[in-house]
Amino acid sequence: MGSKVLKGACVFVAEASNDQKGKYRWIASLYIPKLPIQVELMRRPNLAGLPIVIASESDFGGGGHVAYTCQEGEAAGLRGGMPLREVFALCRHAVVLPPDFDAYEKAYDLILNALEKAAPAVEAASLGRAFIDITGMERLYPRMQTLLEALLAAVSRASSGLVGRVGAAPNKFVSDVAAQTAADGACVIVPARRAADFLAPLSWEYLPISEEMKQRLYLLGLKTMGEIGTISPIALEAQFGSEGRRAWKLARGLDDEPVVARKPFRPIAESLSFPSPINDWAAFWAGVRELLTRLWRRKERREATVRQLQLVARMEEQMWERTLTLHEPVGDRERLEDILSRRLQGTVLPGAVSSLTVKLTLLGGAYVGQESLFVSSAQRWKRIKEAVASIKARSGSTGLYRIAEVEPWSRIPERRYALISFDP
Amino acid sequence: MVSHSRTPLRAHQLRSLNQPRPVTVRCDQKGFPLALWQRGAFCRIRQIKDRWRLDDEWWRRPICRLYYLVELEDGTVETIYCDLMIKKWYRQRESMRTYGGQRVR
């Protein structure tokens, strides 16, 4: 049976027939394209139609990068990751905004909460992306399309008008691709038997593979997932290791990763009352460190990483509050202290603080120190660079050296090689 | 002509590798090494396996070294040299085969 495509709100690769209902797993994927841009446009509707850029850092002078840009920006040649100094050279009318990760996370959180009310298991993938296990739910609705439209409506209501796309398929990967290929506010449904056909003409850019593998696939002249699916999985595994095998399976529409639902979380808080109100930053910071130490000992935290925390300081007549969302989950207390000291630098307390509370408002997965044996060299190199940057930030130098040839031809042994400071 | 890149050389950041380390050597009357001071005691030299001479940089500060590849009593093999200009002994990893010093008979 050929694929049936309907123009309008919902696109079907093929409609799930009644006999298929209940037979297969059904996973829906929500994709909110450029969520931060949409959030900024909701706050500042007058910017609609302008090339908007959201910077990677609040301080533009620090040589930040483009974190997100809208369609108008992309049309002007702006891309994510581009240095900010190049933005105005390419697009004179670009509007550069500082990032407000707290607001983006909040909008995303509202969406996840709304989805959790509608479906039993919702997995938060990344900002603007979520997987929803809707297996069995299709029986509650006359058609799959109605169910997906209900999810989109719930998202729109919760976020006061953010536009999303939904894909439904028997597994996470296919549903994610389906959502990405859908039009704004529309959905794409891909039944199990059509998954490979659906993916075949699409670019392998959708595959979650390393840059190194992408580069090699490009050099091999491969263009679509269909071409990857026709290669022997043994050959792919021989070339790319486990990543090659996984890419082959995904390209054929096979993915058995389960939807891992968010766990309900109650913020963990610790408070401290000062014997006499303090106005001194050093004493305030000592209080924050003490509370972090106490929070780290709390059993509820277990081995989880911190993604967001809140500082609340009570003064005589007012309250000072600051919510900090971390760019990446942090599992090490000393590192968290470093980040906090940087983020709170220059903060002026509005009065003498009588009590202080630190709340861990969002936790991530467990902190895993063990590295995989099979990470790609690009990933490994990225981690090394991050670790070196962290060491440099703490101690002022990397403390690393590399061996360089100075006079390798010299007859005098100590003249041949030297150690020079290494800063990747 | 290649233009100057204007990048500072930062020579102070260079740390030379394989620097010679001073060592105490007991010698016989002819100047051949007999024992090497290591780990708080003299260790006898069982055999001199090889010997070569290195002369270089006569035009500025002459370098004149007499290298010995010696096998110690405990079985370890070390390369030591005598700086003939200042009559002091040093330990340094080196092989005559690699860089072709002049063999001394």
State pLDDT tens for residues A108-137: 988 988 888 888 889 988 888 999 999 888
Q: Do A415 and B16 make contact, defined as CB atoms within 8 angstroms?
A: yes
Average pLDDT of chain A to the nearest whole number: 83
Q: Do A414 and B19 make contact, defined as CB atoms within 8 angstroms?
A: yes
In degrees and rounded to multiples of 5, residue A71 shows phi and psi of -65, -40
Q: What is the pTM of this model?
A: 0.52
Q: Which of B19, B54, B93 sits opposite A411 (nearest CB)?
A: B54
The total of other beta-carbon atoms located within 10 Å of residue A248's CB is 23
Q: Do A420 and B15 make contact, defined as CB atoms within 8 angstroms?
A: yes
- Express as a percent the part of chain A with pLDDT over 90: 18
Question: How far from the centroid of its chain's Cα atoms is residue A307's Cα?
Answer: 12
In degrees and rounded to multiples of 5, residue A68 shows phi and psi of -140, 150
Tokens representing A186?
A: 């529309």
For position A372, what pLDDT does the model report?
Answer: 62
Q: Do B17 and A403 make contact, defined as CB atoms within 8 angstroms?
A: yes
| CA-closest candidate to residue A34, choices A79, A67, A57, A68 | A68
* Average confidence (pLDDT) over A87-107: 85
Residues 6 or more apart in contact with residue A250 via CB below 8 angstroms: A173, A207, A208, A225
* pLDDT tens digits, A36-57: 999 999 888 888 888 998 887 7
Q: Is B59 helix (H, G, I), strand (E, B) or coil?
A: coil
For position B1, what pLDDT does the model report?
Answer: 47
Q: Which of B17, B63, B100 sits opposite A419 (nearest CB)?
A: B17
Q: List CB contacts (< 8 A) between A420 and chain B.
A: 10, 13-15
Q: Is the pLDDT of residue A21 over 70?
A: no
Reported as half-sphere exposure (CB side, CA atoms, 13 A), residue A253 has a value of 21
A227-235: long-range contacts (C-beta < 8 A, 24 or more apart)?
A: A228/A204, A229/A196, A229/A199, A229/A200
Q: List CB contacts (< 8 A) between A411 and chain B.
A: 54, 56, 99-101
Q: Do B99 and A417 make contact, defined as CB atoms within 8 angstroms?
A: no
Say which range, A150-154, A229-233, A345-349, has the weakest mean pLDDT.
A345-349
A404 to chain B: nearest residue by CA?
Answer: B14
Q: Which of A414, A420, A421 sits opposite B18 (nearest CB)?
A: A414
Q: For chain A, which residues lie within 8 Å of any Cβ of chain B, measuring from their own Cβ?
A: 401, 403-404, 406, 411-421
pLDDT top residue among B82 and A85:
B82
